[in-house]
Amino acid sequence: MAIRVVFLGTAGSIPTTRRALPAIAVRREDELIIFDCGEGAQRQMIRARVGFHKKTKIFITHMHGDHVLGLPGVMQTMSLLNREKELEVFGPIGVKAFVEAIERTVQFALTFPIKVNEIREGIVCEEKEYRVQAVCADHVISALAYALIEKPRPGRFNEEKAVNLGVPKGPLWSKLQHGGNVKLSNGKIIRPDDVLGKQRSGRKLVYTGDTRPSKALLELSKNADLLIHEATLGDELKERAFEDGHSTPSQAAKTAKSARAKRLILTHISARYGTTDSLLKQAKKTFRNVEIAEDFMRIDLPLDNDI
């Protein structure tokens, strides 16, 4: 089961003819996880065909308009399509008042409940198979960076061992695969470790939002399968990037290298760059496995095939 990442918007601050404002959709099984929700996000979702009726969580990094002003449109479109499932929204202090203001002042009837979670650092969402962790980003206002971290998976089931131990094929095999002990008719207890291989790690995806380089972000990004890092301005504007609370390609690449991330995607690209060749070249000097995000770019993160 792959995790599919779809870049809905990859611009920084203002949209361009090629780039919409920040929004990233992550499809995991039948769930949609969205990081940031810039203006026009619902149109990008329609074009990307990610759907409006799935179990959905939206994680906002900070309350600058280019990261949050798409929420009203998404809410209205979901209502017009008669969504009924609850929508969960996570974000820093201020996001609850923002959503409440939308509900109070914009004249459309919601067809679904909304649960807004104002969060700080730590584990901000805990599900059976994954968790979402947040750390404080280093921006000009209060901001968060997020990591989607899958929990370890059981090792591969060894059918031959199960047969040799006398476990009949069927429900008992399933019970062992899901971590339960099995008692055979002769009284013998078979444990998962008897028939399962080495536990396999889950996948890790990190999204920085807007940030300068920081120790907290480096720690969050350690061993990430995919690091999605902002690179608003080129290295030649390093001082301007620092003043505005942003990063350059080289800084993002340094974080990826130090964190031993497997893959780096640069996003939140300033409108001043008609072509991103120079940005990519700057990053590749430090970290080779890097790309510049484009709107509607898709990345699949397959499960590890280790035994």
User: In Å, how far are 103, 172, 175, 248 from 245, measured between CA atoms?
Assistant: 31, 55, 51, 10
The distance of Cα 302 from the centroid of its chain, to the nearest Å, equals 15
- Identify the sign of the CA torsion 175, 176, 177, 180: positive
- Cβ neighbourhood burial of 155 (10 Å; 0-12, 13-18, 19+): middle
Which one of the listed residues 30, 36, 66, 193 is annotated catalytic? 66
User: If we measure between CA atoms, which residue out of 144, 88, 139, 149 comes closest to residue 120?
Assistant: 144
- Sequence length of the chain is 307
Known catalytic residue: 66?
yes
Active site residues: 66
